[in-house]
Structure 1
Amino acid sequence: MSTSSPKRIVVTGMGTTSPLGGNVADTWQALLAGTSGARPMPYEWVQTYDLPVTFASMLAQPVDQVLSRVEIRRQDPCSQYALVAAREAWADAGSPEIEPERLAVSIGSGVGGITTVVDSWENLRTKGPRRIFPLAVPMLLVNGPTGAVAIELGAQAWGHTPVSACASGAEAIGAAMGMIREGRADMVVAGGTEAAIHPLPIGGFAAMQALSKRNDDPTTASRPYDTGRDGFVIGEGAALLVLESYEHAKARGATIHAELLSFGVSNDAHHAAAPEPEGIGAAAAMKEALAFGDIDPKDVVHLNAHATSTPVGDIAECKAIHRAFDDNVDQLAISATKSMTGHLLGAAGSLEAIFTIKAIQERLAPAQINLFDRDPAIDLDIVHGQPRKLPDGDIVAMDNSFGFGGCNVALAFANAD
């Protein structure tokens, strides 16, 4: 067994299309400005199916403004979003020349090609099998976005697709770290994508009382840690990182945005949808990230919380953070960015990874919006009102992502040299 130190993994590219903007810069500026991406859905099917929830956090920039008609026709929306994010991330990384066999893709999604699934079924039911689009099957597969980005970039090392509900995007980033450290790839494009603003997921989430029903005021509906929180706001989009070893990045003269120190994973093994109420599993993921990265909890100054705005979820995560950080919890500046973006499900963790990296880069923790009446059970240092200055020097920040089925992932980032 080798006794050499593991490779340092760094972030050299970032890309997104989100409810706040069509790229990283616009999304970040809207986040710092306290902008909500939630608004009424303009689709006829909202009235057709009499949905109890009539709003969502939809893309700020429609994909038809950046993709061709052919690309849109041949890809499910979840793959379309991934392509937009991948192109920005790859350009941000300098569009490097790399042997195809040394480039991998790891893109997670919780729901996958739901639009293609339902549309294809409707064509079969009403028009017969000859009217099913020939590319329907590859379009509806959950690994469709991974394949689309791999084809786009010519990535031949590994096409990986973790499916861990709302932890999928974060898990994809953690898996990418392992690929590079194990020597399976030199660079990995990793993150998550989701396109679930569709009547079936919305109706299903509403039936289980998971969504906010503040139809009269969408922009204030997502309110983590507030006593009036009544569920999350569903969002859509994609967010991807370009990861590589520190040595590889320095050798090609790449700009390094941050270092990915470690990631931790666990499973609640508790309930199909509800989190373990004491936060034991979520805390285990955070503790593992600290341990595997050899991180002193005192060095962690910022945490982008999962914070979906559900009554039980926010409490469980609060308990988990206390379990993981114990006496050091008061030094954590906690950001709850889903108050602005809504919940991007399988893309949430990777979008919030970008927010965590930007917070480290600019030494600025985003402020939550919609904290009107703070829940006294949430005894954390929540950043609200205005973004907060983070300390100078070497700092560490964490990104939490939790998903149905009990999946827990924590990513730990540090400032670049």
Structure 2
Amino acid sequence: MLLSEIWGRIVFRWKTVCAVVVLAIVGAVAFGVFSGTDYSAKTVLTVNPLTTNPFSSATANQQINITTERAILSSSEVARRAVADLGDETSAASLSENARIEAPQGSQILTVTVVDTDPQLAADKANALAAAYLEFRAEGAAQVADTYIKAIDERIESLSKSETNGSTFDLALADLVNQRNDLALVAENPGRIIGYADEAETSSNSSLVLYAAAGLTGGLILGLIAAVLRDRLSKVVGNADRLAQATGLAVVTMRNASDREGIRWVLRSQMQAGNIGARYPKSIGVLALGRTPEVKLRGLLWESLQARRLHSHSMSLAAIPAEALDGGWPDSTEECAWVGMDAVLTGIPADMADSRIALLCDRFLDSLVLFVDQSTPLAAVSRRLDFLAGMTHGSICLVFIEQCQGHSERLPSQDLREMKIEESVGAI
């Protein structure tokens, strides 16, 4: 299918698209109402370099891998410590899931953003995570420093017990003491919080408007998909384009069952096919597979012929016994009565057997006008056309009624017109 054809199908199914969009918006807004409003709180902290190795260079001691620090702050251990400090029913997994950690590359800044339905609880969780991270970082640095402190203490004790004196000895001992003091203070300043989250600073990051917008976007996408799927899976005609594509025939469109302009185009197609107006009757079969009665459509054709001053006879095969149809109807008497007429309109009941219609077309009918509407099953149309395979495409006029009328809807003078049509032998 071309994009234009797909778009045409979607336009035809606009009610489906609208229904899905409305349902999606209502569902999204309802979800927003029942889920409550989410609030976000943000805590900002700086990370200080930790000198845990006294033998590394000063430049290396001042470097911080902010990506690593971000991963540490996002770890489950830090979340577990924060939950322990909060003392509420929040789990470490839930806290990690609702927390977002950001770290600008090349900086020493970390931000912790926590989302919660309670603004104060969101702020408490953000602050607790930041404090737990600094505590965890300080403990880790202290554990590493303790290893070096023990080694330095052993070295200082060894030098103190030796009887060596001199300036070199004093400088080495003083350097070891300075290193020990630095390592002892390494966990004192792992970083600090420079921006505490506060309830007054929390803001709603979700509102009913956002939920409605999400529902509109999702509903529109789902609606377009549903419209295409519904059209492809539909078993009825639906529209004229779909009918033409399924049958491969040209389709004449009528706005409704009383569209006299549309019926003129139908008659024009029959006149172009030949015989009408040639002073010998052309037999035209009228078959309606939709909800509009065949007699009404045949009546419009008869009136259109009359307006062109063409003599015609209109009849219904419902009044002909099945035995007569199978025995070779029409006989010579009826054919003599039609001499001099331009057309014989023959109404075919919708429930007539397909094989009987095919035999009638082979023996008597010159052309067939097939009326369908939106509700007509495509299988019924295809089955009828399969039995009419012996007729040329020009002999079959396929008519689509856009707005069909029910069986109970009749024109004001329909009863009288039907009686006149059935009794007419072309004297008018």
Normalised by the length of structure 2, the TM-score is 0.20
Higher relative contact order (CA 8 A, sep 6+): 1
